[in-house]
Amino acid sequence: MKTFYTLLLIALFSFSSCGYDDFIFSDDDSFPPPFKFTLSTLTTLPIGTGGLDVDRQGNIYAADFGVGLANINGSDIFKINPNNGSVELFASLEPSGLTGNHFDRQGNLYQSNFLSSKVFKIDRQGTTELFTEEVSLPTGITIDRKGNIYVLSCSNGTITKFTQNGEATLLASSESFKCANGITWVKDTGNLYVVNFNDGNVLEVTSTGNVSILAEIPNSTGNAHITSFRGQLYLTAASLGQIFRVSLDGQSVEVIAGNGNSENTDGDALTSGLRTPNDLAFSPDGRKIYINCVANSGNANELSPTVIRVLKLERH
What does the pLDDT look like over 210-226, one tens digit per residue? Answer: 999 999 999 999 999 99
| H or E element that contains 51 | strand 49-54
Q: Give one DSSP letter per residue of 242-287, joined into a string.
A: EEEEEETTS--EEEEE--S-SS---EETTTS--SS---EEE-TTSS
Torsion of CA 178, 228, 307, 129, to 10 degrees: -80
Cα 165 to its chain centre, rounded Å, is 23
Which of 2.120.10.30, 3.30.465.10, 1.20.1250.20, 1.10.10.10 is the CATH number of 2-315?
2.120.10.30
> Would you state the pLDDT for residue 53?
98
> Would you state the pLDDT for residue 34?
55
What does the pLDDT look like over 50-87, one tens digit per residue? Answer: 999 999 999 999 999 999 888 899 999 999 999 999 99
> Would you state the pLDDT for residue 72?
94
What does the pLDDT look like over 36-46, one tens digit per residue? Answer: 899 999 999 99
> Would you state the pLDDT for residue 12?
31
The dihedrals phi and psi of 304, each to the nearest 5 degrees, come to -130, 155
Give the strand order in the sheet containing 87-92.
49-54, 60-64, 76-80, 87-92
**What are the residue ranges spanned by the domains of the chain?**
2-315
> Would you state the pLDDT for residue 20?
30
Q: Give one DSSP letter per residue of 150-198, joined into a string.
A: EEEETTTTEEEEE-TT--EEEEEE-TT-SSEEEEEEETTTTEEEEEESS
CA distance 98 to 52: 10
Amino acid occupying residue 207? S
> Would you state the pLDDT for residue 23?
37
> Would you state the pLDDT for residue 298?
67
Whether the link from the prior residue into 34 is cis, omega within 30° of 0, is: yes
- Mapped onto helix, strand or coil, the DSSP state of residue 22 is helix
| H or E element that contains 15 | helix 2-25
Torsion of CA 160, 161, 167, 170, to 10 degrees: -50
> Would you state the pLDDT for residue 278?
97
CA distance 211 to 176: 8
CA distance 9 to 295: 47
β-sheet bridge partners, residue 88: 79
> Would you state the pLDDT for residue 299?
72
Cα 112 to its chain centre, rounded Å, is 13
Which residue ranges in the chain fall short of pLDDT 50? 1-30
CA distance 100 to 151: 9
Residue 118 and residue 134 in contact, taking contact as beta carbons nearer than 8 Å: no
pTM exceeding the 0.85 threshold for the entire prediction: yes
Cα 291 to its chain centre, rounded Å, is 9
> Would you state the pLDDT for residue 11?
33
